Amino acid sequence: MTRICQDIKDFLSPSRTFTPVPPLLPTCPNPTADTVMYTGIHSITADTLALILRRKINPSGGVEIYDCRNAYEHDGGHIATAINCPTVDALMYWVFELPDRTFPVDACIVLHCEHSCVRGPARARQVRCRAVEDGTRIPQLYILQGGYAAFHRTHPSLCEGGYTRCREDDDHHVGEGKARPEPLTRLSLDLDPGKRRSLDMSVDRPPSRRSVGAATPRRLFDIDGDAF
């Protein structure tokens, strides 16, 4: 069972967060990832990843690519050398639980999904959260901007196979392709996107006076400030 942070404050607090370090790879802005949830997780472009695969950018610790899409999406086409981790447990196994697993000091991990809007950024956060809980040093985390869709469009020669889109009826499809992911609540931040649930703040809440057309009671005051 994968352990998860129960509260975003658990890893954003000064005593439990990673010390910011200069990125080892050229980074770029990412509207999806540049939020408080993903603070400290960098993004790279498809062109940067292509240079890495062509060994024109070659970090001394190496780069591992994790494909967070479903197995059928990965089988339909994927980035060369990418490891498919369709579930949170699969990703945690590769990063934390693989026997004799050690990372070089300057290693990097790149995560992506179809568009890197939901699954990729969420999995990157889950990896960092697990590392904080375990007190484990992990490689720098990067999100591939635009995901596999952007990479396949610009660098098809570096892909194995074509491009299989996520099915519309697949739970993991929710939020993909949008500018920002679906809202995440404190109780659902670390859940697998397929099992994520929203926190309905309106449950057991009485309707507002405005919604039922009732006037808001007002207190009147005379010129001396006394209520009447």
pTM over 0.75: no
Looking at residue 160, what is its pLDDT? 96
- Looking at the structure of the chain, the number of domains it has is 1
Classify residue 49: in a domain, yes or no: yes
Which structural domain, as residue segments, surrounds residue 80?
27-173
Q: Is the dihedral of CA 16, 28, 71, 51 positive or negative?
A: negative
Domain presence at residue 48: yes
Distance CA 92, CA 132 (A): 13
Quick: pLDDT tens for 83-136: 999 999 999 999 999 998 889 889 999 999 999 988 999 999 999 999 999 998
Residue 187: the pLDDT is 34
pLDDT of residue 172: 52
Sheet holding 108-112, edge to edge: 42-44, 140-144, 108-112, 63-67, 83-84
Contact 139, 107 (CB under 8 A): yes
pLDDT along the chain (228 residues), means of 10: 39 44 85 56 94 93 96 96 96 93 91 93 92 91 95 97 88 44 36 39 46 51 47
Read off the CATH number of the domain in which 141 is found.
3.40.250.10
Token representation of residue 153: 């469009």
pLDDT of 207: 54
Has residue 21 been placed in a domain?
Answer: no
CA torsion through residues 115, 117, 122, 124, sign = positive
pLDDT for res 169? 74
Examine residue 165 and state whether it is found in any structural domain, yes or no: yes
Both tokens of 56, joined, read 């024109």
In this prediction, residue 170 carries a pLDDT of 73
Enumerate the active-site residues: 113
Pull the structure tokens for residue 27.
Answer: 């980074």
